[in-house]
Amino acid sequence: MLALQAERVMTLGEWEERWHDDRIGFHQPDVHKLLENNIEKVLAGRAEVSFFFPLCGKAVDMKWLADMGHSVVGVEISEKAIKQFFEESNLTYSEEPVAAIPGAKVYKSSEKNITLYQCDLYNFSSSIHGQFGAIWDRGSLVAINPQDREKYASLIISLMAKDCRYLLDTLLYNAELHKGPPFLVPDEQVHSLFGSSCNIELLQSVDALTDRYRGWGLDSLTENVHLVTLKA
């Protein structure tokens, strides 16, 4: 099944085009249920946790966490997505270049502890904004080009502080019926990508088939959420 999508490539320009044309069916207007259901497992009793959102889009989850007193850092290629996030959240923001990443910009909320970098995810590193106590990966690992997964996993692991709790959302479906994105990421691949340096626990598995996905020709869709933590 993985071989069916192995060669599929989406360029950054194509993602920016999707935002430009408002072809963003992946955006959810409400806080993600699997984040809400598992937030206590992610926080593990901690307050003021630093959260990282890879490929953050304009996820409302960022404001939800910031309202609880956590800090949020996101990376997103689309300037439109970032500006819409602040506008739709009724937040004012500043904008400045990122010295360490040519062409990149950083947007900072004036009221909340939210910092969003507009750049290629693979140009981001712990030298830019340190490591994080939590990561919420929804629509990121499943969106990147399948051939980049090992590079992606290395980056994510490098951004994890020792106590980081990484909540990873993946999708299971018949890849013969949809070319992606979002791409199929089987549990075995989660283990092959992260298992050597991390413990992985499947927290929840839900039937996520909706009319939108039926419209793609899918006959089943399972959404899994994993808790990934660094081995001691």
**Residue 168: per-residue pLDDT:** 99
Asked whether the beta carbons of 132 and 50 are under 8 A apart, the reply is: yes
* Chain segment 6-50, per-residue pLDDT in tens: 999 999 999 999 999 999 999 999 999 999 999 999 999 999 999
Number of C-beta neighbours around residue 80 at 10 A? 15
* Average pLDDT of the residues of the chain: 97
**Residue 148: per-residue pLDDT:** 98
**Which of the 8 DSSP states describes residue 119?**
S
Asked whether the beta carbons of 224 and 202 are under 8 A apart, the reply is: yes
Tally of residues, the chain: 232
Asked whether the beta carbons of 56 and 62 are under 8 A apart, the reply is: yes
In whole angstroms, what is the distance from residue 83 CA to residue 65 CA? 18
* Chain segment 197-228, per-residue pLDDT in tens: 999 999 999 999 999 999 999 999 999 999 99
**Residue 180: per-residue pLDDT:** 96
In whole angstroms, what is the distance from residue 170 CA to residue 40 CA? 20
pLDDT at residue 1 tops 90: no
* Chain segment 75-88, per-residue pLDDT in tens: 999 999 999 999 99
Backbone phi and psi for residue 29, each to the nearest 5 degrees, phi listed first? -75, -15
**Residue 174: per-residue pLDDT:** 97
Number of C-beta neighbours around residue 217 at 10 A? 11
pLDDT at residue 65 tops 90: yes
**Residue 47: per-residue pLDDT:** 98
Query: pLDDT grade, residue 163 (50/70/90)?
Result: very high
In whole angstroms, what is the distance from residue 176 CA to residue 173 CA? 9
> Of 20, 36, 87, 27, nearest to 55 (Cα)?
27
Number of C-beta neighbours around residue 88 at 10 A? 12
What domains can be seen in the chain, in order of their start residue?
2-230 (3.40.50.150)
Task: Say what percent of the chain tops pLDDT 90.
Answer: 100
Asked whether the beta carbons of 52 and 135 are under 8 A apart, the reply is: yes
Backbone phi and psi for residue 182, each to the nearest 5 degrees, phi listed first? -70, 150
> Tokens 């019926």 — which residue?
177
Give this prediction's pTM.
Answer: 0.98
